[in-house]
A and B are shown apart, each in its own frame.
Chain A
Amino acid sequence: MTSQRPPILLTARVLTYGSIGAATLLGVGLLLDVAGQESVAEMVGNIGVVVLLATPVTGLVSTWSELRASRPVHARLAVAVLLVLGLATLIALLARP
C-alpha cells in the first residue's frame, strides 16, 4: 500500500517549517513587545503573521506540484482552492479602510 501513496514529503515539510518559522517570529515579536521594544516587535510580529498566512497557501502550491503527474484531479482542486484564496486576498486589498 505504501508504494501506491502519492508524494507527500514536500507539502509536509512546507507546513512544518512554515508553522515553526511563523510561530518563532510571532514569539520573538511577543517577547520584544513585553520588553518594551514596541516598534520592532510590531514589525517582527507582522512578518510572522504574513509567514503564517502564506504557509497553507505554499502548502497548496507544493500539493499541486507533487500531485500534478500522479493525481491530476487533486492538483486541479489545489489550483481551485488557490484561486479562491487569491480572490480573498484581492477582496482584502480592495476593502482596506
Chain B
Amino acid sequence: MIPLELLALLAALGAGVFGAVVGIGGGIIVVPLLAVGLGVPLHNAIAVSLLGVIAVSTAASANYLEAGLVSRRIGLTLLVSTTLGGIIGGFVAGLIDARVLAALFGIVLIAVALRMFFGREPVEPATVEEPGPLEFDATYIEPRSGEEVAYRVRNFGVGSVVSVFAGVLSGLLGVGGGIINVPTMNSLMGVPIRVVTTTSTYMLGATAVASAVLYFSRGEVEPALAGAVVVGSVLGGRIGARLQHRLPQRALVLLFVGVAAFFALQMLLRAFGSAA
C-alpha cells in the first residue's frame, strides 16, 4: 500500500503544475485533493497548504525581486493589511467546525471557477495628469521587450481595505490571497498584470506565515505531510512555470473549471451531507 505522504506528494506536485499553468497557485487545488481525495482532516490540509504557499512564494519571489518585477512599495503596503487579515483568518479557522470551512471552500471554488471561465482582459492603464494624494507613478522594465513601462497606482486606501479580505481568505482556507489580490491590484489599483502577479506572489509568503503560525501552535501541522506538500508544490510550481507557454491555456482553464466544480460539490456535500 502506498503511504499517504507519497500520495500527498503526488497530489501537491500535480496541483503545483496545474496551479502554475492556469495562474491561480496550487493551494486551491491541493486542499480539496488532500481533504476529499486522501481523507486528510480539513484543518490539517489547510495548514500544510499554507506551508506550500510560503515555499512557492519565497522561492519565486527571489527571482522576481532580482528581475526588478516586484513593486515593494505596493507589496509592503498591502502586506500590512493582508497579514492582519491572515491573523483573523487563521484565528477564526481554529474556532469553526470543519463543515463550515468545507462550505466556505465550496463557495470560493465556485466563485474562482466562474471568474476563470468568464475572465476579463487585464487592465493596462496609461498615466495622465499629475498623481492625486493617494496615487503615485512607477515604472518597470518589461522583460520581453526591455522597454520601460510607466503606470499609475491609484485607489491605494480601498486596495488596502480589500487586501484584508485576501488575508482572511488565505488564513481561513489555505488558498493564498492571490485570487483577491490580483484583480484588486489590476482592476482597482491600475497596476499592470506583469507587476501584479509578481507582487502578489511576493506577498503570499508573509501573508501565509501570519496564519500558519496559528495552525502550527494548535498542532495542526503534520510534519511528514507538510514535507510532502512543500516538496511537491515547489517542484510542481517550477515544472508548471516551464510548461505555461507550451500548453493550451483555454483548454486548461476549462479543465480547471470542471475539476473545481467537482471539488466544490464534494465540499458542499461534506458540509451539508452526512460525511463531514
A15-45 contacts to B, CB under 8 A, are: 15-16, 18-20, 22-23, 26-30, 33-34, 41-42, 44-45
Contact at B224–A29, with CB atoms within 8 Å?
yes
Across the interface, name the chain A residue whose C-beta is closest to B6: A34
Tier of interface size on chain B: 35 or more
Known: A8-B66, A53-B213, A84-B83. A78 touches B9 (CB 8 A): no
Q: What A residues does B51 contact at CB under 8 A?
A: 49, 52
Q: What B residues does A22 contact at CB under 8 A?
A: 55, 230
Question: For the complex, what is the distance from the CA of A15 to the CA of B72, rounded to whole Å?
Answer: 15
Contact at B227–A85, with CB atoms within 8 Å?
no
Across the interface, name the chain A residue whose C-beta is closest to B68: A5
B202-248 contacts to A, CB under 8 A, are: 205-206, 209-214, 216-219, 221, 223-224, 226-228, 230-231, 234
The interface residues of chain B, by DSSP majority, are classed as helix
Contact at A49–B221, with CB atoms within 8 Å?
yes
Q: What A residues does B86 contact at CB under 8 A?
A: 88
Is B155 an interface residue when CB atoms closer than 8 A count as contact? no
Known: A19-B234, A74-B73. A45 touches B227 (CB 8 A): yes
Q: What B residues does A92 contact at CB under 8 A?
A: 213-214, 216-217
Known: A63-B72, A91-B91. A19 touches B55 (CB 8 A): yes
B140-183 contacts to A, CB under 8 A, are: 141, 148
Residue ranges of B at the interface with A (Cβ–Cβ < 8 Å): 3, 5-6, 9, 51, 54-55, 57-59, 61-63, 65-66, 68, 72-73, 76-77, 79-80, 83-84, 86-87, 90-91, 94, 139, 141, 148, 205-206, 209-214, 216-219, 221, 223-224, 226-228, 230-231, 234
> 10 smallest A-B Cβ distances: which pairs?
A45-B223, A30-B227, A26-B227, A77-B76, A92-B217, A33-B224, A56-B205, A15-B62, A19-B58, A19-B59
Residue ranges of A at the interface with B (Cβ–Cβ < 8 Å): 1-2, 5-6, 8-9, 11-13, 15-16, 18-20, 22-23, 26-30, 33-34, 41-42, 44-46, 48-49, 52-53, 55-57, 59-60, 63, 67, 71, 73-74, 77-78, 80-81, 84-85, 87-89, 91-93, 95-97
